[in-house]
Amino acid sequence: MNAPPNRHEPRFLAAQVGFTLVELLVGVVILSMIMAGLLAALRSYAVTGERLDQRLRQEDENRLVLGFLRQVIGSAQPISEGKTDSRRQVWFFGGERDLQWVGVMPARHGVGGLYRMRLSLASGGSEESLQLVLDYAPMDKPNNDAGWLTHASRAVLFPAVRGMAITYEDPKAQPPERWLRHWPHPDRLPLRVRIDIERNGLPLPPQFISILGRPDSVTGTGIFVIGGG
């Protein structure tokens, strides 16, 4: 004869199928760890993408600014100051951190033709931050206009740099004196200009800029124009 069914047996089996409180807590902890790992991975991916975008924007900015400098410095003209003595002085003043010259400004946004220009460093608002700036004014004043900077416009090429060094190649000198920190020859232009810029703690590639319209000396009026307006 079969034994009568136990009324408590189904309730006992149902209790064995569920999870205990400890098991639920362990599951929640494991799920939280997995979610934290996923969030950290997503955050790291977002930061990496932002840094990559910033690096690409900076490289584009470097390319545009350095290309512009190669163009305007390479167009330097041997224009004299209009002196009456026998030794004509070219309007070109080269220092280690400052360069002034007459060159051709690209014809963009209503700007073009011969301009006085000055490349230099200016204060960027803090002791460790400098700005690379270009001052420029059209050649509508006498050649010996000493106060041209008072009516010049200014463009900030790089808003933050650590430093800049400029050297000048003298084609008539022998190595190692071929590259000079200051241009000492008032009657002629250098063969090339080298510009080294440090930005965000990293040096940019050195720029070797050939002076395309450079004669060996200045005679007569001293005016030699390429594409001027």
pLDDT digits (tens, 9 = 90+) for 13-56: 555 556 787 777 888 888 888 888 888 887 877 777 676 777 77
Confidence of residue 2 (pLDDT cuts 50, 70, 90): low
95: pLDDT strictly greater than 80: yes
1 within some domain: no
Report the Cα–Cα distance between both ends of the chain, in Å, rounded. 121
pLDDT at 141 over 90: no
pLDDT of residue 223: 38
Asked if omega into 176 is within 30° of 0 (cis), the reply is: yes
Contact 166, 94 (CB under 8 A): yes
Longest dimension (CA), the chain: 139
Q: What local confidence, expressed as pLDDT, does residue 82 receive?
A: 59
pLDDT over 80 (residue 142): no
Per-residue pLDDT tens over the stretch 112-135: 789 999 999 998 766 568 999 999
Q: What pTM was estimated for this model as a whole?
A: 0.69
What tokens does 192 get?
A: 């090339």
164-198 per-position pLDDT tens digit: 999 999 998 888 789 999 999 988 999 999 999 99
Residue 151 within any structural domain of the chain? yes
Q: Tell whether 58 is covered by a domain.
A: no
pLDDT at 113: 86
Domain, as residue range, for 127:
81-210
The predicted pLDDT at position 106 comes to 86
Q: Is 68 helix (H, G, I), strand (E, B) or coil?
A: helix
Tokens of 56: 């690409």
Tell me if 15 is assigned to some domain: no
CA dihedral sign, ordered 120, 178, 222, 209: negative
CB 157 within 8 A of CB 134: yes
Q: How many domains does one find in the chain?
A: 1
Q: Is residue 46, in this structure, part of any structural domain at all? A: no
> Which tens digit of pLDDT belongs to each residue from 63-94?
999 999 999 999 999 887 655 455 557 889 99
- pLDDT recorded at residue 183: 95
Q: Is residue 93 part of a domain?
A: yes
Q: Is residue 152 part of a domain?
A: yes
**Amino acid occupying residue 11:** R
Q: Is residue 180 part of a domain?
A: yes
Side-chain-facing half-sphere of 209: CA atoms under 13 Å:
24
Neighbours of 168 (CB within 10 A): 24
Q: 171, 121, 173, 116: which is closest to 149 by C-alpha?
A: 116
